[in-house]
Amino acid sequence: MGLGLLVPAFLVGLSALLVPIVLHLRHRDKDRPQKFPSLMFLEQLPIRTAERRRITDWPLLLLRALALALLVLAFARPVFSRQAVAERANRVRAVVVMLDRSMSMGHKDVWQTAVDSARKVIMSLGPSDKVALVLFDDEADIVQPFTIEKSAALGALAKAKPSPRGTRYAAALRAARQLVLRAGNAKSEVVIVTDLQRSGVSGVAGLDLPEGLSVRTISVHSKSSANTAVASVDVRRLVEPTKTMLSVQARVLSRELPQSRIAHATLMINGRIAGVRDVTVPASGDVPVAFDPVLLPAGRVRGAVMIDNDALTADDTLHFAFTADDALRVLLVAPDDATADETLFFERALGVSRAPLMRIDRVRRGQLDTRILENASLVLLWDTPPPSGAAGNALTQFVQRGGGLVVAAGRRYPARVAASTLMPASVNGSTDRVTDRGGSLGDVRLDHPLYAAFRDAPAALSAARFLRYPRFEPAVGTEVIARFDDGLPATLERREGTGRIVLLGMPLDTRSGDFPLQSAYLPFLQKLVLYSSGRDVTTLWRATGQSWLLPGGLKDAAVSTPDGAIIRPAADTVGSTVALRESGVYSLYEGRVQGEPAGLLAVNAPTNESDLTPVDARELLLGVRQSAAAANASNDIPTPEEIEARQRMWRILLAAVAVLLLAETIFANRGWRGTASRLSIAPSERSPS
């Protein structure tokens, strides 16, 4: 039962139960004897003393004894255990209605069915039941906390609409968990109204839900999962002698169509139709759609590829945005005594790049200033330390605003290194590996973006030999990405502001090794430039649910969302971030929202959201654990309401005592002994005179 007593000493008072019994035996009816004309006959009847002494009014005696016992119990302050309170509170239900509002819910009439199902669940609750409404896609919004007002939940439900975002059941269940833990001891139930999209299941496994929480799913997915979507877009610049053309190729994906069909695809560039194609979409599979090249507009380009609307229209359009001029300008700072052939391999390796174009400008170390750095994406210091003075300050500001800095240490470096705040490591001489035919890269972090391209061919990296390299000692906050086979750091990275500083211990020329002669040299350098300059994260679009870290250096940044709203994000230590909630093109402005935007970012729903394949409800909750620890997570410190709920018993007992005493009064004076009273006639009232 889980019942305890706060003051058990009061139970001694139960001995007072003897009082009504003794009174009952000794003093019963003494107050109101029944008048009778004569006991002449009654006294002749044999009446045993024991019989006269026995308890005659059992109901009355029990009433009095029960009232006394309850009174004693009330003073003993009974208290329910947490479990008992929970069991008692189980009569009240706390239902969390979770409505999937992801993009896939817009398929056919799935959304209306889902809203109707959620409304039915809410309406079926009792008057004392609590309900909360959570709308979820890739994140969960508690639009209505627990309330007993069904109309409030229905009102919030009426305002809900599908979003262009993905599905993530784990986020929804976590939100439900938090709600349930705050629901007290009511019997909790989570009702998930969803299309059970398989792509949203990831992350559910291992989730810890409170023990006893009932999770129920209401599947509203359409019988047909047929869907066609624009899955991806690729743009290529076709450089011709006099102009640059833009070639756009899209990929249209179809799933579970009853049969192949012809889709009408349209390419929009800067709001105008730039191409049209009719493609035959297979029943299941994808088909490329290549549009005719069009003249590449200048500046920032926004585009979209659209196909005929089907049952799910939200994924029939894919937005993209890019900058027409994507040339990546690299400032090569070489020592004055460097020969032209020393950087030959390096310059040729970058020069062959077409996407993006990489343009190398050689500058002297002392020429670095704000003007030269303005249009640069990357500064590469060839076997020379960072400059000091004004050039050093300009370089520091360049990096902090997001520019890239690569320091390629060569044979001269140990002798010329100077103290600089930009250096991620100090140099302690150099290592000569001539005697053992050169060293190689030993420990390389292939999960790092810089080396990720070699994940499938790590031997290409280890093939390079390095005869002499500096001995770096990493500074605090510096990350070692790769090491030589003797354990010395080979590649180091440090973030400065929003920019990246990469320090290479590997010689990039042929004087101290054969790295330029290896197959890994060219992809490594191109990746090095892209990564260090930050260009590697530049994509044609991003998925909803992600965030946009605005480039530094903007004053009073303002972002125009696809639905026309203006966001002026506040900057923090990392920078200004905008959450991408809608599909379309976000425009970044500096100051006033007008004119040419400072940046464009296309946002689309996650491509896996177009896969409408449902998952079995049991499979959805297969990895979910339910533990008592989770149930008690928020109950370690009982709330005042819970304490009151546990000790509320004494009030009930006192009320019961009052009722019993009232019943005893009625029973004793009217209902029970009134039979005899009605037979008594007051003589004085009957007198004729």
Partner 1 sequence: MPAAPASFLDPALLARISDLALLARTVVDGFMHGQHRSMRKGSSMDFAQHRSYQPGDDLRRIDWRVFGRTDRYYVKEYEADTNASVIFALDSSASMDFGSGALTKYDYGRFLIACLAWLSQHQGDRVGLATFVGDLVDVVPASTRHLQLLLHTLGRSRATGVGNLTTAIDKLTHLTARAGIAVLVTDCYESPEALGKAVASLRMRGHDVIVFHLIDSAERDFPFTAATTFEDSESGTRLPLRPDDLRVKYKALVEAHHAALTTKLIGAGADYIRVATDKPLDVALHAYLDRRLARSRVR
Q: Determine, following the binding rule CB under 8 A, whether residue 670 of this chain makes contact with partner 1.
A: no
Binder among 112, 627, 669, 675 for partner 1 (CB under 8 A): 675
Q: Determine, following the binding rule CB under 8 A, whether residue 669 of this chain makes contact with partner 1.
A: no
Tell me whether residue 52 or residue 592 sits nearer to partner 1 (CB atom). Answer: 52
537, two tokens: 């994260």
Binder among 1, 9, 47, 459 for partner 1 (CB under 8 A): 47
CB of 676 to partner 1, least distance (A): 5
Q: Determine, following the binding rule CB under 8 A, whether residue 251 of this chain makes contact with partner 1.
A: no
- Determine the Cα–Cα distance for residues 288 and 416; give it in Å rounded to an integer: 55
Q: Is the dihedral of CA 381, 382, 387, 390 positive or negative?
A: negative
Which residue in 150, 151, 203 sits closest to 172, CA to CA?
A: 203
Q: Is the dihedral of CA 526, 528, 530, 533 positive or negative?
A: negative
CB of 675 to partner 1, least distance (A): 5
CB of 13 to partner 1, least distance (A): 29
- DSSP code per residue over 669-686: IIITTHHHHTT---HHHH
Burial 75-109 (b: 16+ CB within 10 A, else e): bbbbbbeeebbbebbeebbbbbbbbbbbbbbbbbe
List all residues 6 or more positions away from 48 whose beta carbon is below 8 Å from its beta carbon: none
CB of 46 to partner 1, least distance (A): 8
Total binding residues for partner 1 by CB under 8 A?
32
CB of 22 to partner 1, least distance (A): 15
Tell me whether residue 639 or residue 665 sits nearer to partner 1 (CB atom). Answer: 665
CB 206 within 8 A of CB 623: yes
Tell me whether residue 47 or residue 570 sits nearer to partner 1 (CB atom). Answer: 47
- Determine the Cα–Cα distance for residues 397 and 564; give it in Å rounded to an integer: 34
The region of 131-139, 196-204, 206-214, 677-685 touching partner 1 under the rule CB under 8 A is 677-685
DSSP state of 224: -
Binder among 44, 151, 259, 594 for partner 1 (CB under 8 A): 44
Judged by DSSP in three states, 473 sits in strand
DSSP state of 439: B
The region of 26-34, 331-339, 415-423, 554-562 touching partner 1 under the rule CB under 8 A is 26-34
CA of 187: how far to CAs of 90, 96, 647, in Å? Answer: 5, 11, 20
Binder among 8, 19, 22, 56 for partner 1 (CB under 8 A): 56
CA dihedral 270→274→280→284, nearest 10 degrees, is -20
Binder among 16, 23, 36, 280 for partner 1 (CB under 8 A): 36
Which residue in 299, 238, 289 sits closest to 267, CA to CA?
A: 289
The region of 48-56, 210-218, 232-240, 353-361 touching partner 1 under the rule CB under 8 A is 48-56
Binder among 16, 57, 431, 666 for partner 1 (CB under 8 A): 57
- Determine the Cα–Cα distance for residues 459 and 101; give it in Å rounded to an integer: 48
Q: Determine, following the binding rule CB under 8 A, whether residue 21 of this chain makes contact with partner 1.
A: no
Q: Determine, following the binding rule CB under 8 A, whether residue 50 of this chain makes contact with partner 1.
A: no
The region of 63-71, 73-81, 513-521, 673-681 touching partner 1 under the rule CB under 8 A is 673-681
Binder among 23, 35, 214, 428 for partner 1 (CB under 8 A): 35
Binder among 15, 37, 352, 636 for partner 1 (CB under 8 A): 37
The region of 28-36, 199-207, 319-327, 359-367 touching partner 1 under the rule CB under 8 A is 28-36
- Residue located via tokens 């909360």: 132
547-549 and 577-579 beta bridge pairing: antiparallel
- Determine the Cα–Cα distance for residues 56 and 43; give it in Å rounded to an integer: 20
Q: Determine, following the binding rule CB under 8 A, whether residue 51 of this chain makes contact with partner 1.
A: yes
Q: Determine, following the binding rule CB under 8 A, whether residue 41 of this chain makes contact with partner 1.
A: yes
Judged by DSSP in three states, 354 sits in strand
- Determine the Cα–Cα distance for residues 513 and 511; give it in Å rounded to an integer: 6
Tell me whether residue 58 or residue 421 sits nearer to partner 1 (CB atom). Answer: 58
Binder among 39, 476, 570, 637 for partner 1 (CB under 8 A): 39
Residue ranges in 510-529 that form contacts with partner 1 under rule CB under 8 A: none
Q: Is the dihedral of CA 611, 616, 622, 626 positive or negative?
A: positive
The region of 40-48, 131-139, 315-323, 644-652 touching partner 1 under the rule CB under 8 A is 40-48
First to last CA, the chain: 68
Tell me whether residue 65 or residue 215 sits nearer to partner 1 (CB atom). Answer: 65
Q: Determine, following the binding rule CB under 8 A, whether residue 389 of this chain makes contact with partner 1.
A: no
Tell me whether residue 105 or residue 668 sits nearer to partner 1 (CB atom). Answer: 668
Can you give the binding site for partner 1, defined by CB under 8 A?
28-30, 33-45, 47, 51-52, 56-57, 672-673, 675-676, 679, 681, 683, 686-689
